[in-house]
Structure 1
Protein backbone atom coordinates (compact mmCIF):
# COMPACT_ATOMS: atom_id res chain seq x y z
CA UNK A 1 0.00 0.00 0.00
CA UNK A 2 2.83 2.42 0.85
CA UNK A 3 4.44 1.72 -2.52
CA UNK A 4 1.17 2.50 -4.33
CA UNK A 5 0.81 5.73 -2.35
CA UNK A 6 4.34 6.79 -3.33
CA UNK A 7 3.69 5.99 -6.99
CA UNK A 8 0.50 8.04 -6.93
CA UNK A 9 2.28 10.97 -5.23
CA UNK A 10 5.05 10.88 -7.83
CA UNK A 11 2.55 10.76 -10.69
CA UNK A 12 0.76 13.79 -9.23
CA UNK A 13 4.08 15.61 -8.87
CA UNK A 14 4.88 14.95 -12.54
CA UNK A 15 1.40 16.15 -13.49
CA UNK A 16 1.65 19.43 -11.58
CA UNK A 17 5.22 20.16 -12.70
CA UNK A 18 4.33 19.47 -16.33
CA UNK A 19 1.24 21.70 -16.11
CA UNK A 20 3.34 24.45 -14.50
CA UNK A 21 5.89 24.27 -17.32
CA UNK A 22 3.18 24.10 -19.99
CA UNK A 23 1.47 27.17 -18.56
CA UNK A 24 4.76 29.11 -18.49
CA UNK A 25 6.10 28.16 -21.93
CA UNK A 26 3.35 26.46 -23.90
CA UNK A 27 3.01 22.74 -24.45
CA UNK A 28 4.96 22.69 -27.71
CA UNK A 29 7.93 24.45 -26.09
CA UNK A 30 8.30 21.99 -23.19
CA UNK A 31 10.22 18.75 -23.62
CA UNK A 32 9.88 15.58 -21.59
CA UNK A 33 13.48 16.19 -20.49
CA UNK A 34 12.50 19.53 -18.94
CA UNK A 35 9.66 17.87 -17.06
CA UNK A 36 11.88 15.09 -15.75
CA UNK A 37 14.58 17.54 -14.65
CA UNK A 38 11.98 19.65 -12.81
CA UNK A 39 10.73 16.49 -11.06
CA UNK A 40 14.17 15.00 -10.41
CA UNK A 41 13.30 11.74 -12.18
CA UNK A 42 14.60 9.74 -15.14
CA UNK A 43 12.89 9.82 -18.53
CA UNK A 44 11.96 6.15 -18.12
CA UNK A 45 10.07 7.01 -14.95
CA UNK A 46 8.10 9.66 -16.82
CA UNK A 47 7.15 7.15 -19.51
CA UNK A 48 6.07 4.63 -16.87
CA UNK A 49 3.31 7.08 -15.99
CA UNK A 50 2.58 8.93 -19.24
CA UNK A 51 3.06 7.73 -22.84
CA UNK A 52 3.48 11.32 -24.14
CA UNK A 53 3.77 14.79 -22.66
CA UNK A 54 0.29 15.63 -24.00
CA UNK A 55 -1.19 12.68 -22.13
CA UNK A 56 -0.29 14.44 -18.88
CA UNK A 57 -3.38 16.62 -19.42
CA UNK A 58 -5.61 13.53 -19.32
CA UNK A 59 -4.52 12.76 -15.79
CA UNK A 60 -6.65 15.66 -14.59
CA UNK A 61 -9.82 13.71 -15.42
CA UNK A 62 -8.48 10.67 -13.58
CA UNK A 63 -7.73 12.75 -10.49
CA UNK A 64 -11.25 14.14 -10.65
CA UNK A 65 -12.80 10.65 -10.85
CA UNK A 66 -10.74 9.46 -7.87
CA UNK A 67 -12.30 12.23 -5.81
CA UNK A 68 -15.84 11.07 -6.44
CA UNK A 69 -15.69 7.28 -6.74
CA UNK A 70 -15.71 6.78 -2.97
CA UNK A 71 -19.43 7.46 -2.93
CA UNK A 72 -20.05 5.07 -0.02
CA UNK A 73 -18.76 7.89 2.21
CA UNK A 74 -22.05 9.66 1.47
CA UNK A 75 -24.37 6.92 2.78
CA UNK A 76 -25.88 9.24 5.42
CA UNK A 77 -26.95 11.81 2.81
CA UNK A 78 -30.06 12.00 0.67
CA UNK A 79 -29.58 11.83 -3.10
CA UNK A 80 -29.65 15.60 -3.62
CA UNK A 81 -26.96 16.09 -0.96
CA UNK A 82 -24.89 13.28 -2.51
CA UNK A 83 -24.95 14.88 -5.94
CA UNK A 84 -24.08 18.32 -4.56
CA UNK A 85 -21.22 16.74 -2.57
CA UNK A 86 -19.92 15.00 -5.72
CA UNK A 87 -19.82 18.30 -7.61
CA UNK A 88 -18.27 20.05 -4.60
CA UNK A 89 -15.47 17.47 -4.45
CA UNK A 90 -14.75 17.97 -8.12
CA UNK A 91 -14.71 21.73 -7.68
CA UNK A 92 -12.40 21.85 -4.64
CA UNK A 93 -9.53 20.59 -6.77
CA UNK A 94 -9.62 23.81 -8.77
CA UNK A 95 -8.91 25.83 -5.64
CA UNK A 96 -5.68 23.95 -4.90
CA UNK A 97 -3.83 25.11 -8.03
CA UNK A 98 -6.22 27.57 -9.73
CA UNK A 99 -3.89 29.04 -12.37
CA UNK A 100 -2.45 25.69 -13.39
CA UNK A 101 -5.80 23.96 -13.53
CA UNK A 102 -7.39 26.78 -15.50
CA UNK A 103 -4.63 26.25 -18.03
CA UNK A 104 -5.09 22.45 -18.01
CA UNK A 105 -8.85 22.67 -18.49
CA UNK A 106 -8.49 25.19 -21.32
CA UNK A 107 -5.95 22.95 -23.07
CA UNK A 108 -8.15 19.88 -22.72
CA UNK A 109 -11.07 21.68 -24.36
CA UNK A 110 -8.84 23.00 -27.17
CA UNK A 111 -7.46 19.63 -28.24
CA UNK A 112 -9.80 17.28 -30.10
CA UNK A 113 -7.40 14.38 -29.45
CA UNK A 114 -7.39 14.99 -25.70
CA UNK A 115 -11.11 15.77 -25.43
CA UNK A 116 -11.93 12.39 -27.02
CA UNK A 117 -10.09 10.65 -24.19
CA UNK A 118 -11.56 13.01 -21.61
CA UNK A 119 -15.03 11.96 -22.77
CA UNK A 120 -14.37 8.56 -21.15
CA UNK A 121 -14.07 10.21 -17.73
CA UNK A 122 -17.16 12.31 -18.44
CA UNK A 123 -19.11 9.17 -19.41
CA UNK A 124 -17.97 7.46 -16.18
CA UNK A 125 -19.24 10.40 -14.18
CA UNK A 126 -22.53 10.38 -16.07
CA UNK A 127 -22.93 6.65 -15.38
CA UNK A 128 -22.20 7.28 -11.70
CA UNK A 129 -24.98 9.89 -11.54
CA UNK A 130 -27.42 7.61 -13.36
CA UNK A 131 -26.66 4.67 -11.06
CA UNK A 132 -26.98 6.86 -7.99
CA UNK A 133 -30.43 8.00 -9.10
CA UNK A 134 -31.46 4.44 -10.07
CA UNK A 135 -30.56 3.15 -6.60
CA UNK A 136 -32.64 5.83 -4.92
CA UNK A 137 -35.61 5.12 -7.21
CA UNK A 138 -35.36 1.35 -6.61
CA UNK A 139 -35.27 1.94 -2.84
CA UNK A 140 -38.38 4.10 -3.29
CA UNK A 141 -36.62 7.09 -1.77
CA UNK A 142 -37.29 9.42 -4.70
CA UNK A 143 -39.11 9.76 -7.97
CA UNK A 144 -37.77 11.77 -10.86
CA UNK A 145 -39.27 13.98 -13.54
CA UNK A 146 -37.60 12.98 -16.79
CA UNK A 147 -35.26 10.35 -18.15
CA UNK A 148 -32.21 9.54 -16.00
CA UNK A 149 -29.88 9.95 -18.98
CA UNK A 150 -31.28 13.43 -19.62
CA UNK A 151 -31.08 14.47 -15.97
CA UNK A 152 -27.44 13.32 -15.71
CA UNK A 153 -26.57 15.09 -18.98
CA UNK A 154 -28.18 18.36 -17.86
CA UNK A 155 -26.35 18.21 -14.51
CA UNK A 156 -23.02 17.55 -16.24
CA UNK A 157 -23.67 20.25 -18.81
CA UNK A 158 -24.34 22.76 -16.05
CA UNK A 159 -21.17 21.72 -14.21
CA UNK A 160 -18.94 22.00 -17.28
CA UNK A 161 -20.49 25.28 -18.39
CA UNK A 162 -19.75 26.70 -14.93
CA UNK A 163 -16.15 25.46 -15.10
CA UNK A 164 -15.62 26.91 -18.58
CA UNK A 165 -17.01 30.26 -17.45
CA UNK A 166 -14.57 30.14 -14.50
CA UNK A 167 -11.63 29.30 -16.77
CA UNK A 168 -12.25 32.33 -18.97
CA UNK A 169 -13.47 34.76 -16.28
CA UNK A 170 -11.75 36.26 -13.29
CA UNK A 171 -14.02 34.38 -10.87
CA UNK A 172 -12.58 33.07 -7.64
CA UNK A 173 -12.66 29.36 -6.83
CA UNK A 174 -15.15 30.13 -4.05
CA UNK A 175 -17.46 31.81 -6.56
CA UNK A 176 -17.14 28.75 -8.81
CA UNK A 177 -18.15 26.40 -6.00
CA UNK A 178 -21.05 28.64 -4.99
CA UNK A 179 -22.37 28.92 -8.54
CA UNK A 180 -22.11 25.17 -9.13
CA UNK A 181 -23.88 24.41 -5.85
CA UNK A 182 -26.60 26.97 -6.56
CA UNK A 183 -27.21 25.75 -10.13
CA UNK A 184 -27.09 22.07 -9.15
CA UNK A 185 -29.56 22.64 -6.30
CA UNK A 186 -31.91 24.49 -8.63
CA UNK A 187 -31.85 21.65 -11.16
CA UNK A 188 -32.28 18.95 -8.53
CA UNK A 189 -35.36 20.72 -7.19
CA UNK A 190 -36.87 20.46 -10.67
CA UNK A 191 -36.01 16.82 -11.36
CA UNK A 192 -36.03 14.93 -8.04
CA UNK A 193 -38.86 14.58 -5.52
CA UNK A 194 -38.51 12.71 -2.21
CA UNK A 195 -41.20 10.05 -1.86
CA UNK A 196 -42.47 11.45 1.44
CA UNK A 197 -42.99 14.92 -0.15
Structure 2
Protein backbone atom coordinates (compact mmCIF):
# COMPACT_ATOMS: atom_id res chain seq x y z
CA UNK A 1 0.00 0.00 0.00
CA UNK A 2 2.83 2.38 0.90
CA UNK A 3 4.57 1.64 -2.42
CA UNK A 4 1.38 2.44 -4.35
CA UNK A 5 1.00 5.77 -2.53
CA UNK A 6 4.62 6.66 -3.28
CA UNK A 7 4.20 5.80 -6.97
CA UNK A 8 1.02 7.90 -7.19
CA UNK A 9 2.82 10.78 -5.50
CA UNK A 10 5.79 10.57 -7.86
CA UNK A 11 3.54 10.41 -10.93
CA UNK A 12 1.59 13.43 -9.72
CA UNK A 13 4.82 15.36 -9.17
CA UNK A 14 6.09 14.44 -12.64
CA UNK A 15 2.82 15.61 -14.20
CA UNK A 16 3.13 18.95 -12.45
CA UNK A 17 6.73 19.31 -13.62
CA UNK A 18 5.70 18.54 -17.21
CA UNK A 19 2.79 21.00 -17.04
CA UNK A 20 5.08 23.73 -15.72
CA UNK A 21 7.61 23.02 -18.47
CA UNK A 22 4.95 23.15 -21.20
CA UNK A 23 3.58 26.45 -19.85
CA UNK A 24 7.08 27.94 -19.74
CA UNK A 25 7.68 26.82 -23.34
CA UNK A 26 4.38 28.28 -24.57
CA UNK A 27 5.06 31.54 -22.77
CA UNK A 28 8.63 31.93 -24.03
CA UNK A 29 7.69 31.07 -27.62
CA UNK A 30 4.68 33.39 -27.59
CA UNK A 31 6.58 36.37 -26.21
CA UNK A 32 9.40 35.88 -28.72
CA UNK A 33 6.84 35.83 -31.54
CA UNK A 34 5.05 38.89 -30.13
CA UNK A 35 8.32 40.82 -30.12
CA UNK A 36 9.29 39.65 -33.61
CA UNK A 37 5.98 40.05 -35.42
CA UNK A 38 3.75 42.10 -33.14
CA UNK A 39 0.98 40.71 -30.96
CA UNK A 40 -1.81 41.18 -33.52
CA UNK A 41 0.07 39.21 -36.20
CA UNK A 42 0.67 36.06 -34.12
CA UNK A 43 -1.90 33.26 -34.08
CA UNK A 44 -2.55 30.52 -31.54
CA UNK A 45 -1.79 27.98 -34.28
CA UNK A 46 1.66 29.50 -34.78
CA UNK A 47 2.39 29.53 -31.05
CA UNK A 48 1.33 25.89 -30.73
CA UNK A 49 3.40 24.82 -33.75
CA UNK A 50 6.54 26.56 -32.51
CA UNK A 51 5.97 25.12 -29.02
CA UNK A 52 5.71 21.56 -30.36
CA UNK A 53 2.18 21.01 -29.05
CA UNK A 54 -1.29 20.58 -30.51
CA UNK A 55 -3.56 23.62 -30.73
CA UNK A 56 -5.93 21.95 -28.27
CA UNK A 57 -3.12 21.61 -25.74
CA UNK A 58 -2.59 25.37 -25.85
CA UNK A 59 -6.16 25.87 -24.65
CA UNK A 60 -5.52 23.57 -21.69
CA UNK A 61 -3.20 26.30 -20.40
CA UNK A 62 -4.68 29.53 -21.76
CA UNK A 63 -8.33 30.01 -22.69
CA UNK A 64 -7.36 32.51 -25.39
CA UNK A 65 -4.35 34.40 -26.68
CA UNK A 66 -5.14 37.47 -24.58
CA UNK A 67 -4.61 35.44 -21.41
CA UNK A 68 -0.92 35.21 -22.30
CA UNK A 69 -0.76 38.96 -21.77
CA UNK A 70 -2.33 38.61 -18.33
CA UNK A 71 0.20 35.90 -17.52
CA UNK A 72 3.00 38.24 -18.58
CA UNK A 73 1.62 41.03 -16.41
CA UNK A 74 1.47 38.71 -13.40
CA UNK A 75 5.04 37.56 -14.06
CA UNK A 76 6.31 41.14 -14.02
CA UNK A 77 4.37 41.92 -10.88
CA UNK A 78 6.52 39.39 -9.02
CA UNK A 79 9.42 41.83 -9.39
CA UNK A 80 7.57 44.28 -7.14
CA UNK A 81 9.01 43.03 -3.85
CA UNK A 82 12.53 43.17 -5.24
CA UNK A 83 12.01 46.77 -6.34
CA UNK A 84 10.60 47.80 -2.94
CA UNK A 85 13.47 46.15 -1.05
CA UNK A 86 15.97 48.20 -3.04
CA UNK A 87 14.51 51.43 -1.69
CA UNK A 88 14.37 51.36 2.10
CA UNK A 89 15.85 54.81 2.74
CA UNK A 90 14.52 58.35 2.34
CA UNK A 91 11.15 59.99 2.91
CA UNK A 92 8.01 58.10 1.97
CA UNK A 93 7.56 60.26 -1.12
CA UNK A 94 11.18 59.74 -2.18
CA UNK A 95 10.81 55.98 -1.75
CA UNK A 96 7.59 55.95 -3.76
CA UNK A 97 9.21 57.90 -6.57
CA UNK A 98 12.24 55.59 -6.67
CA UNK A 99 9.95 52.55 -6.78
CA UNK A 100 7.80 54.02 -9.55
CA UNK A 101 10.92 55.00 -11.49
CA UNK A 102 12.25 51.43 -11.34
CA UNK A 103 8.93 49.97 -12.46
CA UNK A 104 8.77 52.52 -15.27
CA UNK A 105 12.25 51.46 -16.38
CA UNK A 106 11.19 47.79 -16.45
CA UNK A 107 8.10 48.71 -18.45
CA UNK A 108 10.08 50.63 -21.06
CA UNK A 109 12.37 47.67 -21.72
CA UNK A 110 9.40 45.97 -23.40
CA UNK A 111 7.06 48.93 -23.82
CA UNK A 112 5.05 47.76 -26.85
CA UNK A 113 4.24 44.38 -25.34
CA UNK A 114 3.66 45.66 -21.82
CA UNK A 115 1.40 48.44 -23.07
CA UNK A 116 -0.78 45.68 -24.52
CA UNK A 117 -0.69 43.80 -21.22
CA UNK A 118 -1.87 46.91 -19.38
CA UNK A 119 -4.76 47.45 -21.79
CA UNK A 120 -5.74 43.77 -21.58
CA UNK A 121 -5.45 43.80 -17.79
CA UNK A 122 -7.76 46.81 -17.51
CA UNK A 123 -10.20 45.38 -20.07
CA UNK A 124 -10.30 42.06 -18.23
CA UNK A 125 -10.90 43.84 -14.93
CA UNK A 126 -13.84 45.76 -16.42
CA UNK A 127 -15.37 42.66 -18.03
CA UNK A 128 -15.01 40.32 -15.05
CA UNK A 129 -15.41 43.00 -12.37
CA UNK A 130 -12.46 41.35 -10.63
CA UNK A 131 -9.22 43.24 -10.04
CA UNK A 132 -6.35 41.39 -11.69
CA UNK A 133 -3.60 39.82 -9.60
CA UNK A 134 -0.87 42.14 -10.81
CA UNK A 135 -2.85 45.33 -10.14
CA UNK A 136 -3.83 44.01 -6.72
CA UNK A 137 -0.20 43.25 -5.87
CA UNK A 138 0.88 46.70 -7.04
CA UNK A 139 -1.78 48.44 -4.96
CA UNK A 140 -1.17 46.25 -1.90
CA UNK A 141 2.57 46.91 -2.04
CA UNK A 142 2.00 50.66 -2.06
CA UNK A 143 -0.70 50.40 0.62
CA UNK A 144 1.69 48.52 2.91
CA UNK A 145 4.36 51.14 2.31
CA UNK A 146 1.96 53.96 3.21
CA UNK A 147 0.67 52.14 6.29
CA UNK A 148 4.20 51.58 7.58
CA UNK A 149 5.00 55.26 7.06
CA UNK A 150 1.86 56.32 8.95
CA UNK A 151 2.59 53.96 11.86
CA UNK A 152 6.18 55.19 12.13
CA UNK A 153 5.13 58.83 12.00
CA UNK A 154 6.94 59.39 8.70
CA UNK A 155 3.63 60.25 7.03
CA UNK A 156 0.61 62.09 8.36
CA UNK A 157 -2.50 61.47 6.31
CA UNK A 158 -6.24 61.68 6.86
CA UNK A 159 -6.91 59.29 3.97
CA UNK A 160 -7.26 55.53 4.02
CA UNK A 161 -3.94 54.05 2.76
CA UNK A 162 -5.80 51.72 0.40
CA UNK A 163 -7.51 54.67 -1.29
CA UNK A 164 -4.23 56.58 -1.51
CA UNK A 165 -2.49 53.54 -3.02
CA UNK A 166 -5.28 53.16 -5.58
CA UNK A 167 -4.87 56.80 -6.62
CA UNK A 168 -1.11 56.37 -7.10
CA UNK A 169 -1.62 53.19 -9.15
CA UNK A 170 -4.16 55.05 -11.28
CA UNK A 171 -1.71 57.89 -11.91
CA UNK A 172 1.00 55.44 -12.88
CA UNK A 173 -1.22 53.52 -15.30
CA UNK A 174 -2.51 56.76 -16.81
CA UNK A 175 1.07 57.89 -17.46
CA UNK A 176 1.98 54.61 -19.15
CA UNK A 177 -1.13 54.26 -21.28
CA UNK A 178 -1.56 57.87 -22.36
CA UNK A 179 2.08 58.91 -22.45
CA UNK A 180 3.33 59.51 -25.97
CA UNK A 181 5.45 56.63 -27.37
CA UNK A 182 7.97 59.29 -28.40
CA UNK A 183 8.68 60.20 -24.75
CA UNK A 184 11.80 58.73 -23.19
CA UNK A 185 12.10 57.45 -19.63
CA UNK A 186 13.09 60.82 -18.16
CA UNK A 187 10.17 62.58 -19.85
CA UNK A 188 7.65 59.95 -18.74
CA UNK A 189 9.02 60.12 -15.20
CA UNK A 190 8.65 63.90 -15.18
CA UNK A 191 5.05 63.55 -16.37
CA UNK A 192 4.39 61.07 -13.55
CA UNK A 193 6.12 63.32 -11.02
CA UNK A 194 3.96 66.31 -11.99
CA UNK A 195 0.78 64.26 -11.57
CA UNK A 196 1.89 62.90 -8.21
CA UNK A 197 2.71 66.41 -7.01
CA UNK A 198 -0.84 67.46 -7.86
CA UNK A 199 -2.40 64.82 -5.57
CA UNK A 200 0.28 64.49 -2.89
CA UNK A 201 -1.01 67.40 -0.85
CA UNK A 202 -4.33 65.59 -0.67
CA UNK A 203 -2.63 62.42 0.59
CA UNK A 204 -0.17 63.94 3.05
CA UNK A 205 -1.17 66.47 5.71
CA UNK A 206 1.88 68.69 5.32
Q: TM-score, normalised by structure 1?
A: 0.70
CA RMSD of superposed structures (Å): 3.5
CA distance in 2, matches of 1:36, 1:77: 48
Query: Counterpart of 1:69 in 2: which secondary structure?
Result: helix
Q: Is the 8 A contact 1:145 1:191 kept in 2?
A: yes
Q: Is the 8 A contact 1:50 1:56 kept in 2?
A: no
Instruction: Select 2:111's aligned residue among 90, 93, 98.
Output: 98
Does residue 51 in structure 1 map to residue 67 in structure 2? Answer: no
In the TM superposition, what is the alpha-carbon distance from 1:58 to its structure 2 partner?
Answer: 0.6
Query: Counterpart of 1:143 in 2: which secondary structure?
Result: coil
Instruction: Select 2:39's aligned residue among 7, 23, 26.
Output: 23
CA separation of 1:77 and 1:11: change in aligned 2, threshold 3 A? farther
CA distance in 2, matches of 1:184, 1:9: 37
Partner of 2:162: 149
CA distance in 2, matches of 1:80, 1:128: 14
Q: Deviations over 1:86-127 (max 9, x none)?
A: 222221123212223333333444456877566332122222
**Higher CA-based Rg:** 2
Alignment of 1:131-170 (within 5 A): 131-166=144-179, 169-170=180-181
Query: Counterpart of 1:142 in 2: which secondary structure?
Result: coil
In the TM superposition, what is the alpha-carbon distance from 1:192 to its structure 2 partner?
Answer: 2.5
Q: Deviations over 1:31-56 (max 9, x none)?
A: 2x412455xx4338x85x94343321
Unaligned runs of 5+ in 2: 1-20
Q: TM-score, normalised by structure 2?
A: 0.68
Partner of 1:61: 73
Q: Is the 8 A contact 2:66 2:120 kept in 1?
A: no
Query: Counterpart of 1:135 in 2: which secondary structure?
Result: helix
Tell me which moved more, 8-17 or 61-70.
8-17
CA distance in 2, matches of 1:178, 1:68: 21
Unaligned runs of 5+ in 1: 1-6
* Count of matched residue positions in the alignment of Structure 1 and Structure 2: 181
Partner of 2:200: 188
CA distance in 2, matches of 1:73, 1:97: 22
Q: Is the 8 A contact 1:67 1:89 kept in 2?
A: no
